[in-house]
Chain A
Amino acid sequence: MNAPEKFVAGTAAQPAVGQPRIHESARAHVAGAATYVDDVPEVKGTLHAAPILSKVARGRLLSVDPAEALAMEGVREVVLAADIPADPLFATFAHDEPIFARDTVEYAGQVVGVVVAETVMQARRAARRVKLEIEPLPAVLDVREAVKQQSFVLPPVTVRRGEPEQGLARAPHRLAGSLEVGGQEHFYLEGQVGYALPLEQDQWWIYSSTQHPAEVQHWVAHALGLDASAVRVDCRRMGGGFGGKETQAGHIAVWAALAARKTRRPVKLRLDRDDDFLVTGKRHPFAYDYEVGFDDEGRILGLKLVLAANCGWSADLSGPVADRAVFHVDNAYFLSDVEIVSYRCRTNVQSHTAFRGFGGPQGMIVTEAMLGDIARALGKDPLDVRKTNLYGIEDRNLTHYRMPVEDNILHPLIARLEQDAAYRRRRAEIAQWNAANPVLRRGLALTPVKFGISFTATFFNQAGALVHVYTDGSVQVNHGGTEMGQGLHTKVCQLVADELGVPFERVRISSTDTAKVPNASATAASSGTDLNGRAAQFAARQIRERLAGYVAEKQGCRPEQVIFAHGQVSGPEAVMSWEQLVDDAWRSRVQLWSDGFYRTPKIHYDKATLSGRPFYYFAYGAACTEVAIDTLTGENRVLKVDILHDVGHSINPALDIGQIEGGFIQGMGWLTTEQLVWTGQGELATHAPSTYKIPATGDVPGHFRIALWPEPNREDNVGGSKAVGEPPFMLAISVWEALRDAVAAARGDGRAKLDAPATAENVLKALRA
């Protein structure tokens, strides 16, 4: 039911929505009382599994010899491909991933099987003693080599609009270039974990740290040859997800379930952090080649762009990730005549997967880089060139995939940030400062974000929820979304509390459970609150409407005259407590629980012609960032950040600001310190926090100010809000552009060929190139 967000007569002031409520689990978090999968008390007889990994990037798997491992203390079983009762491939969309490697291995880190033992350490020790005989074969490790060899996981996609060749030909200025942008490890603090418990009559209970319990359910049922209804997946919370527990969690759960099936015992599989790095996919690294033509003002007249996504060894979510990259090449800018060629390259590394932004960051960054270069080529301020290219309001407002940009707020938003951050004054001060300092250089950049909200797989844009009111008036809500720290459950409880007019504290959330709300979509694409919040609101609304009807009948009024607020229910004749009403209604046999269902309106998208309206709306924002670089070493530091971001009417400003800050810092990590390094043999050399460096406390800029844009979503979305999970990540492109600004200032020739991430070494290289 796609009911509009009507202001129902009888709803009083909303006490929970719009307030900076504390995260529903915060008190449990700080007390160590919040339970994660590995903290669930173990059922007697539980065994532990550890994966057996290929050390070879590509080869023929000639034999697996588990004898030595099986003889070790505590070891119970070794589980291999031959132990899979049903389909030996994971139930992925592309259906191209063996559950356990069989005849070939496709990357160093591929799982060949698991060892099951009494303790975690026994299993891990033994897993390394399983002898794998692998005959190495030539591997493709470089994305450009993959393009050359036409090594693809999915066919290339081309999007064209206008006449890019003519646009380039008539442009008074042209630039051509290439760029490499690295991937990113999710580094959720809680590593991947699954716990599979065989129940009676071939039914299964799976605890999984997953963003997508329904997919885990589907995959486990598929691998074990069971009905989906025989598998129940439960996830109270994750210790971080960021996209890394969308498909990847399914692998862990299936491996644990196969081990449990073979041993007929509960089996837990908790990946060691190094194994987590080696086994699971990451953000897609991208390589780019482009040619862009522009006029004297820096306005882009023609663009030809090649995006090569390094997808790793299998398709996983690479199709939709690469699609979203194509959809976000424009970022906030009108590209009149453009051709984008997107390659989905197959290489012998981890299968890269969803990660906050889902290809969006990789699409936007190349255009932002071009605009920075265009400005420097013309001797203009990059902000002016960016403004020149912004989507218009009445014209120049159709995206290259033919969706009109109807809700553009970037013109006033950028103007306000430019003012608040004193961009022009600081630009001048920095230029002066740079002229006076021999070793350090500062840089400044202000970049916008326009990010499309909705799953591009249109059918995912649906959600369900259950709201239960118990006879004592307490409320339990359950929905298909998962909690990974983003505060989804808190927002849903706020929405339900206000819908029922009860205090926030009366509403509890229960763990996400495929036995409660079935067929739920992944909690991804920033859409958790939009979808599940609405579904829960509708469920609560039905209960309220039933109760209003009950009161109206008793008091002889219209249902709209019954007001639910502050734990009180008021009609023209009488006021009673919520608890009293609930008890009365129950005794009168009024249904006190309900379901709710929501599907996003307006969206449609034609995969064949790559056109339509894939997104319900856009979320906007902009960041102004100042950095300093050290020209002796390339070391760099982010000094000041001002952000103005659009979350519509915030359901919870504290949580939204948390997403903005956290997303920005994570994006900053992607573009500065987080470098993935594979050896020449295709082994990931950065496989632990000792070698892979996410931002730490010292990296937080001394000046870090966040403001929210004060306008509700122009589309009818829950509470007037906008999605916030992913969009702020891309505000960090301002860090990278500021670094390039500083590099260009140091060089004095306007050039800044800097690959990402901007490690000290890469910055020094850019200074010397």
Chain B
Amino acid sequence: MESRTIRFIRRGELVSLTNVAPERTLLEVLREDLSATGTKEGCGEGDCGACTVVLAEPHQGTLKYRAINACIRLAHSIDGMALWTVEDLAGADGSLHPAQEALVQSHGSQCGFCTPGFVMSLFGMYQNHVCRGEPVTRELAQEELSGNLCRCTGYRPILDAAQAMAGLPRVQQDEQAILRQLEELALRQEQSGAPGGSSYMAPRALPELLRLRAEHPRAQVVAGCTDVGLWVTKMHQQFAQVLDLTQVRELRQVEHYDHHIAIGAAVSLTEAFVALAEQRPQLKPFFDRFAGLPVRNAGTLGGNVANGSPIGDSMPLLIALGAHVVLLGVRGYREMPLEDFYTGYRQTVLAPDEVVGWIKVPRPVEGEFLRAYKISKRYDDDISAVCLVVAARLVGGVVTQVGIGAGGVAATPVRALQAEAVLRGQPWTADAAQAAAAALREEFRPISDMRASAAYRAEVLGNLMQRFWLETQGHERINLESFRLEEVALP
């Protein structure tokens, strides 16, 4: 099958690569083809961050920078972008970038193997915050570095470095030059015409995507590849053809309507979460706990939904909010409540000629009380043992409307219909909450696995409903998140 050329900008120059198999990862291409061995493989599944690199794309006249995991990124997907690896930051005279110099001065490297990944995450923060005049707080550093693991330092010096970068002499990227180069690249792509039956297809318009999907039903559809990447690195899958929908301009937007927002399937989790948190700010801590930043920067909300993992965290939320999913195909579109999209373990109603197009999320209504709870072994960047999201509309002390989504308790993300039924239309009292907790504990038959036992999952589901009750009653101090840094500092 014809293989298309990958073109990207690195160190101010155009890099062209030909004959790259569709399942080869960016990390492999960097290390094996470009001898750029500064970027490391730590886990091969986007969990440790040693492979972090930074991508940039044009966005409203400037560059949008994203730190991503090279180990699970298909090399073809960076076509048309600018790329920085750890080798690309130092000046021509060898002077270190502030992200690097701050790490050195803070004693932030010990064995040094995670260091290139931290440097790149710091570089992403530098471009996205420091260069925009925003301070790097301790909280921001912890949040944005939660996808980078270090086994040596205990992180304190790395967090110090994140905060120290801004105090060093500013280093700017030549954004105008890069933007020009990216424009030229885009023009070249347009001229080279619509992708036909090549092994890696990345259409830029929706009709094109739908046509290719219909013509190549066996092509592997990918978005951010934060799960499909593992099928390659861990399950050793090879693909004859890949259909990448992340370049489809119609799907790269969040559209705002009177009663809902529509999140395109190519919108990254980072951006989708910004849009959702604008309307429901209480969700921010929950979103910050979804994987690590490089995964949120690469993965898409549509991908999380289409993937259908029973332990994906966005679906319980979307189900509780009453979100709908819109499926697109050459035959037309259809729309359904998200919970109806799933038919079994990683099984959905999606037809071979369809793709997930949009997720429609209703706007908050008056009286909505919403909480999203996640139980996992580690606070950040972990997969839920149990995820429970409760959205109740409380009007005059009565539950007029309720949505409860749960993850980690069944073969698919689910709606807790029985617990909802217990509450709907009832006065919101301690007894009602207890009844709902009891219903939740009974409603599912979770499994025991390495994340938690079935008994724990069932018990905690009910206990989280108890927490929800307490929160509606104005209790603070009932959640570990209530401990803020300044409160624990000694006088």
Instruction: State the A residues within 8 Å of B (CB).
Output: 20, 22-23, 25-36, 38-39, 41, 121, 124-125, 128, 186-191, 237-242, 272-274, 421-422, 437-440, 484-487, 626, 628, 630, 632-633, 635-637, 639-640, 654-655, 657-658, 661-666, 673, 675, 677, 685-686, 688-691, 693-704, 759-761, 764-765
Q: In the docked arrangement, what's the CA distance between A30 and B456, Å?
A: 43
Q: Is the CB of A33 within 8 A of B478?
A: no
Q: Is the CB of A662 within 8 A of B450?
A: no
For A703, list chain B residues within 8 Å (CB): 488-490
Question: A689 with B47: in contact, given A189-B151, A484-B111, A697-B148 (CB under 8 Å)?
Answer: yes
For B50, list chain A residues within 8 Å (CB): 189
Q: In the docked arrangement, what's the CA distance between A174 and B146, Å?
A: 46
Question: A190 with B42: in contact, given A636-B480, A658-B110 (CB under 8 Å)?
Answer: yes
What would 8 more interface pairs be, CB under 8 Å, given A23-B110, A658-B157, A697-B380?
Answer: A25-B112, A32-B87, A239-B113, A440-B477, A630-B479, A654-B107, A688-B234, A689-B43
Q: In the docked arrangement, what's the CA distance between A125 and B21, Å?
A: 16
Q: Is the CB of B96 within 8 A of A697?
A: no
In the complex, per-residue mask of B229-266: 1 if CB is within 8 Å of any chain A CB, else 0: 00001101000000000000000000000000000000
Q: In the complex, which of the residues B28, B380, B480, B486 has the most CB atoms of chain A within 10 Å of its own CB atom?
A: B480
Q: In the docked arrangement, what's the CA distance between A293 and B379, Å?
A: 39
Q: In the docked arrangement, what's the CA distance between A701 and B150, Å?
A: 15
Q: Is the CB of A440 within 8 A of B87?
A: no
Q: Is the CB of A32 within 8 A of B38?
A: yes
Q: Tell me, rounded to whole Å, the shortest Cβ–Cβ distance linking B276 to chain A.
A: 21
Question: A240 with B107: in contact, given A635-B480, A694-B151 (CB under 8 Å)?
Answer: no
For B110, list chain A residues within 8 Å (CB): 23, 485-487, 658, 662
- Which one of B180-188, B337-345, B462-470 is at the A interface? B462-470
Number of A-B contacts (CB under 8 A): 283
Kindly report which residue of chain A lies nearest to residue B292, judged by CB atoms: A696
Q: Tell me, rounded to whole Å, the shortest Cβ–Cβ distance linking A279 to chain B.
A: 15
Q: Is the CB of A30 within 8 A of B146?
A: no
Q: Is the CB of B483 within 8 A of A628?
A: yes
Contact of B159 among A190, A439, A486, A700 (CB under 8 A): A700
For A686, list chain B residues within 8 Å (CB): 450
A-B contact pairs, 15 of them (CB 8 A): A26-B103, A30-B96, A30-B99, A31-B100, A189-B111, A190-B111, A237-B111, A274-B234, A439-B477, A439-B479, A632-B466, A635-B480, A639-B488, A697-B145, A698-B379
Q: Tell me what chain A mostly uses at the interface: helix, strand, loop, or mixed.
A: loop
Q: Is the CB of B490 within 8 A of A661?
A: no
For A664, list chain B residues within 8 Å (CB): 154
B19: Cβ under 8 A from any A Cβ: no
Q: Tell me, rounded to whole Å, the shortest Cβ–Cβ distance linking B159 to chain A.
A: 7
Q: Tell me, rounded to whole Å, the shortest Cβ–Cβ distance linking B461 to chain A.
A: 10
Contact of A125 among B112, B150, B236 (CB under 8 A): B236
Kindly report which residue of chain A lies nearest to residue B236, judged by CB atoms: A125
Contact of B488 among A26, A440, A701 (CB under 8 A): A701
Q: Tell me, rounded to whole Å, the shortest Cβ–Cβ distance linking A465 to chain B.
A: 22
Kindly report which residue of chain B lies nearest to residue A188, judged by CB atoms: B151
Q: In the complex, which of the residues A437, A628, A689, A765 has the most CB atoms of chain B within 10 Å of its own CB atom?
A: A689
Q: Is the CB of B151 within 8 A of A242?
A: yes
9 shortest A-B CB distances, which residue pairs?
A32-B38, A239-B113, A485-B111, A29-B112, A665-B154, A32-B86, A485-B110, A689-B47, A661-B154
Q: Is the CB of A761 within 8 A of B453?
A: yes
Question: A698 with B142: in contact, given A30-B96, A190-B42, A190-B113 (CB under 8 Å)?
Answer: yes
For A764, list chain B residues within 8 Å (CB): 456, 459-460
Q: Tell me, rounded to whole Å, the shortest Cβ–Cβ distance linking B40 to chain A.
A: 7
Question: A189 with B109: in contact, given A677-B450, A703-B488 (CB under 8 Å)?
Answer: no
Q: Is the CB of A673 within 8 A of B377?
A: yes
B381: Cβ under 8 A from any A Cβ: yes
Q: Is the CB of B107 within 8 A of A189?
A: no
Kindly report which residue of chain A lies nearest to residue B117, judged by CB atoms: A189
Q: Is the CB of B104 within 8 A of A30?
A: yes
Q: Is the CB of A22 within 8 A of B377?
A: no
B444: Cβ under 8 A from any A Cβ: no
For B85, list chain A residues within 8 Å (CB): 32
Contact of A696 among B119, B149, B485 (CB under 8 A): B149
Q: Tell me, rounded to whole Å, the shortest Cβ–Cβ distance linking A246 to chain B.
A: 15
For B486, list chain A residues within 8 Å (CB): 702
Q: In the docked arrangement, what's the CA distance between A27 and B95, Å?
A: 10
Q: Is the CB of B35 within 8 A of A41?
A: yes
Kindly report which residue of chain B lies nearest to residue A421, judged by CB atoms: B490
Q: Is the CB of A632 within 8 A of B379?
A: no
B218: Cβ under 8 A from any A Cβ: no
For A677, list chain B residues within 8 Å (CB): 449-450
B438: Cβ under 8 A from any A Cβ: no
Q: Is the CB of B45 within 8 A of A637?
A: no
Q: Tell me, rounded to whole Å, the shortest Cβ–Cβ distance linking A180 to chain B.
A: 15
Q: Is the CB of A22 within 8 A of B156?
A: no
Kindly report which residue of chain A lies nearest to residue B23, judged by CB atoms: A121
- Give chain B interface residues in 323-359, CB to chain A under 8 Å: none
B375: Cβ under 8 A from any A Cβ: yes
Q: Is the CB of B450 within 8 A of A685?
A: yes
Q: In the docked arrangement, what's the CA distance between A674 and B470, Å?
A: 31
Q: In the complex, which of the residues B28, B42, B87 has the most CB atoms of chain A within 10 Å of its own CB atom?
A: B42
B114: Cβ under 8 A from any A Cβ: yes
Question: A440 with B112: in contact, given A38-B37, A764-B460 (CB under 8 Å)?
Answer: no
Kindly report which residue of chain A lies nearest to residue B46, judged by CB atoms: A690
Q: Is the CB of B111 within 8 A of A238?
A: yes
B435: Cβ under 8 A from any A Cβ: no
Q: Tell me, rounded to whole Å, the shortest Cβ–Cβ distance linking B365 to chain A.
A: 28
Q: Is the CB of A273 within 8 A of B43?
A: yes
Q: In the docked arrangement, what's the CA distance between A628 and B107, Å?
A: 30
For B158, list chain A residues within 8 Å (CB): 697
B268: Cβ under 8 A from any A Cβ: no
Q: Tell me, rounded to whole Å, the shortest Cβ–Cβ distance linking A141 to chain B.
A: 15
For A689, list chain B residues within 8 Å (CB): 42-43, 45, 47-48, 149
B168: Cβ under 8 A from any A Cβ: no
Q: In the docked arrangement, what's the CA distance between A701 and B155, Å?
A: 10
B22: Cβ under 8 A from any A Cβ: no
- Give chain B interface residues in 145-195, CB to chain A under 8 Å: 145-146, 148-159
For B379, list chain A residues within 8 Å (CB): 635, 637, 696, 698-699
Q: In the docked arrangement, what's the CA distance between A28 and B109, Å?
A: 10
Q: Is the CB of B96 within 8 A of A693?
A: no
Kindly report which residue of chain A lies nearest to residue B101, judged by CB atoms: A30
Q: Is the CB of B381 within 8 A of A630?
A: no
Q: Is the CB of B151 within 8 A of A439?
A: no
Q: Is the CB of B113 within 8 A of A700?
A: no
For B451, list chain A residues within 8 Å (CB): 691
For A237, list chain B residues within 8 Å (CB): 111-112
Question: A697 with B107: in contact, given A125-B236, A703-B488, A761-B452 (CB under 8 Å)?
Answer: no
B80: Cβ under 8 A from any A Cβ: no
Q: In the docked arrangement, what's the CA distance between A36 and B31, Å?
A: 13
Q: In the docked arrangement, what's the CA distance between A486 and B484, Å?
A: 32
Q: In the docked arrangement, what's the CA distance between A664 and B156, Å?
A: 12
Q: In the docked arrangement, what's the CA distance between A663 and B39, Å?
A: 26
For A666, list chain B residues within 8 Å (CB): 151, 154
Q: Is the CB of A189 within 8 A of B114?
A: yes
Q: Is the CB of B112 within 8 A of A485?
A: yes
Question: A189 with B456: in contact, given A239-B111, A633-B375, A702-B489 (CB under 8 Å)?
Answer: no
Q: In the docked arrangement, what's the CA distance between A657 and B107, Å?
A: 10
For A187, list chain B residues within 8 Å (CB): 149, 151
Q: Is the CB of B488 within 8 A of A31?
A: no
Q: In the docked arrangement, what's the CA distance between A188 and B111, Å?
A: 9
Q: Is the CB of A696 within 8 A of B44?
A: no
For B105, list chain A residues within 8 Å (CB): 22
Contact of B155 among A128, A188, A239, A700 (CB under 8 A): A700
Q: Tell me, rounded to whole Å, the shortest Cβ–Cβ distance linking A161 to chain B.
A: 37
Q: Is the CB of A694 within 8 A of B483?
A: no
For B39, list chain A residues within 8 Å (CB): 32
Q: In the docked arrangement, what's the CA distance between A354 and B50, Å?
A: 25
Q: Tell me, rounded to whole Å, the shortest Cβ–Cβ distance linking B124 to chain A.
A: 14
